């Protein structure tokens, strides 16, 4: 009998060992990456020679908050959001979201006497900041929003709540909430609730990646075949994470607190082929990267991109929130109406500056091997992904189709 019990116990060990613990934060970050890549493919569809930039992280936190506090069941808000982000059986993402925001907290200001003068870009990496602005926080004698949702959204997701009384929330209310004035996307002005969420990054290149480069003129061939003269930078000869396959050529360019993964379609491949690969195979590029010595030639670029994203989000399977938010809002049939985002991104010899504001509307190595060095020339349309170095969270991604447009 003892032997039988022992065998039964041992037989149960493999299934227990297969349990994965501590997956909350990695799942949140991976879901954000999956969402961002799919969104880029849908947003960039048919936009020939147009530069595109989106910021998935601010939107991910909004949908994570909705997912965590929505009721389950077939066709529910919770089920649709979890499926679109690959979050499985509806995990609670409140604590992982808070952990992520802590990693992005603003650095403490240095005392004035200790600040050094420098022409390089200082690090300024802020957490996604959010605000829920509604024209009525009370309905039929009770709070319009679920009290538990409000508490958790403030504690774990960093949102602030503000009432505008009987007036519909406006752009002025968003500005008063402290969001970037020049980056706010256009709003309809007919929503009862505005959810604003933004991401901001400013960081210098690590070491002398491009900081010692003297800008020069170079040719860039757009998707339509036009050749444009643009400002180019040549990196220092150094070791970079690099990969070249039949489908793509990619390099990771390090900054002090982030890095940019630049990906060029392979010979004979289109930008659309690359976007599809990135959407369908999440680790295809990262798994191929290896440290190699080389030089990267890259155009400088600075552009703004604004888009309404409701259609693309619905195409990803998130439809129920645009019909009914359920118990999240006490007023029956309250639903999302619009999702808009405006992004500003600048990449030059100093580093990366990027900001995005999202609006969700609702109604109620060794140089010794230099002879084998690679030379990656980003002289035709390419995809870029900008990730935080500490958490590897995807903050911004997009397509540079014509760097001469700014």
Helix H segments across 18-177? Answer: 24-43, 56-68, 77-85, 94-103, 147-155, 171-176
| Domain range annotation of the chain | 52-104+121-203+303-348+356-363, 205-300+366-391
Span 180-198, mean pLDDT? 71
Superfamily of domain 205-300+366-391: Alpha-1-antitrypsin, domain 1 (2.30.39.10)
Span 86-103, mean pLDDT? 83
Span 52-77, mean pLDDT? 80
Alpha carbons 391 and 388: distance in angstroms, whole number? 6
185-197 exposure pattern, b = at least 16 Cβ within 10 A, e = fewer: bebeeebbbbbbb
Structure-token pair, residue 349? 């010899």
pTM of the shown model: 0.84
pLDDT in tens, 308-328: 999 999 999 999 988 888 777
pLDDT bin (cut points 50, 70, 90) of residue 117 is: very low
pLDDT at 125: 39
Cβ neighbour number for residue 219 with a 10 Å cutoff: 13
Question: Average pLDDT, whole number, for the chain?
Answer: 80
Q: In CATH, which of 3.40.50.1700, 3.30.497.10, 3.50.50.60, 3.40.50.300 is domain 52-104+121-203+303-348+356-363?
A: 3.30.497.10
- Provide the 3-class DSSP secondary structure of residue 41: helix
Instruction: Report DSSP state, residue 316.
Output: T
């Amino acid at each position: 009998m003892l032997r039988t019990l022992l065998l039964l116990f041992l037989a149960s060990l493999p299934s227990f060992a297969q349990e994965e613990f501590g997956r909350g934060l990695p799942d949140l970050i991976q879901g954000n990456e999956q969402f961002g890549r799919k969104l880029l493919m849908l947003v960039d569809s048919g936009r020939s020679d147009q530069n595109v930039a989106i910021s998935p992280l601010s939107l991910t936190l909004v949908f994570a908050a909705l997912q965590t506090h929505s009721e389950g069941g077939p066709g529910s808000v919770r089920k649709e959001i979890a499926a679109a982000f690959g979050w499985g059986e509806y995990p609670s993402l409140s604590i992982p979201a808070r952990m992520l925001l802590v990693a992005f907290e603003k650095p403490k200001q240095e005392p004035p006497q200790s600040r050094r003068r420098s022409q390089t870009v200082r690090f300024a990496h802020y957490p996604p900041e959010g605000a829920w602005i509604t024209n009525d926080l009370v309905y039929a004698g009770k709070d319009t929003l679920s009290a538990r949702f409000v508490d958790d959204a403030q504690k774990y997701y960093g949102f602030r709540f503000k009432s505008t009384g009987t007036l519909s929330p406006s752009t002025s209310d968003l500005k008063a909430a402290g969001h970037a004035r020049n980056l706010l996307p256009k709003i309809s002005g007919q929503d009862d609730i505005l959810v604003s969420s933004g991401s901001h990054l400013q960081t210098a290149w690590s070491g002398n990646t491009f900081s010692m480069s003297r800008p020069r003129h170079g040719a860039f061939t757009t998707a339509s075949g036009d050749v444009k003269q643009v400002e180019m930078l040549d990196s220092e000869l150094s070791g970079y994470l690099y990969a070249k396959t039949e489908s793509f050529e990619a390099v990771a360019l390090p900054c002090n607190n982030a890095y940019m993964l630049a990906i060029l379609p392979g010979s004979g491949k289109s930008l659309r082929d690359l976007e599809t690969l990135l959407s369908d195979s999440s680790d295809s590029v990262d798994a191929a990267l290896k440290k190699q010595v080389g030089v990267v030639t890259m155009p400088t670029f600075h552009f703004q991109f604004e888009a309404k994203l409701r259609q693309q989000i619905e195409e990803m399977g998130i439809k129920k929130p645009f019909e009914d938010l359920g118990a999240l809002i006490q007023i029956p049939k309250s639903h999302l109406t619009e999702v808009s985002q405006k992004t500003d991104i600048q990449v030059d010899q100093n580093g990366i500056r990027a900001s995005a504001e999202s609006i969700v509307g609702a109604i109620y190595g060794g140089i010794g091997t230099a002879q084998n060095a690679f030379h990656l020339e980003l002289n035709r349309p390419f995809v870029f992904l900008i990730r935080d170095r500490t958490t590897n969270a995807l903050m911004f991604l997009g397509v540079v189709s014509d760097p001469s447009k700014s």
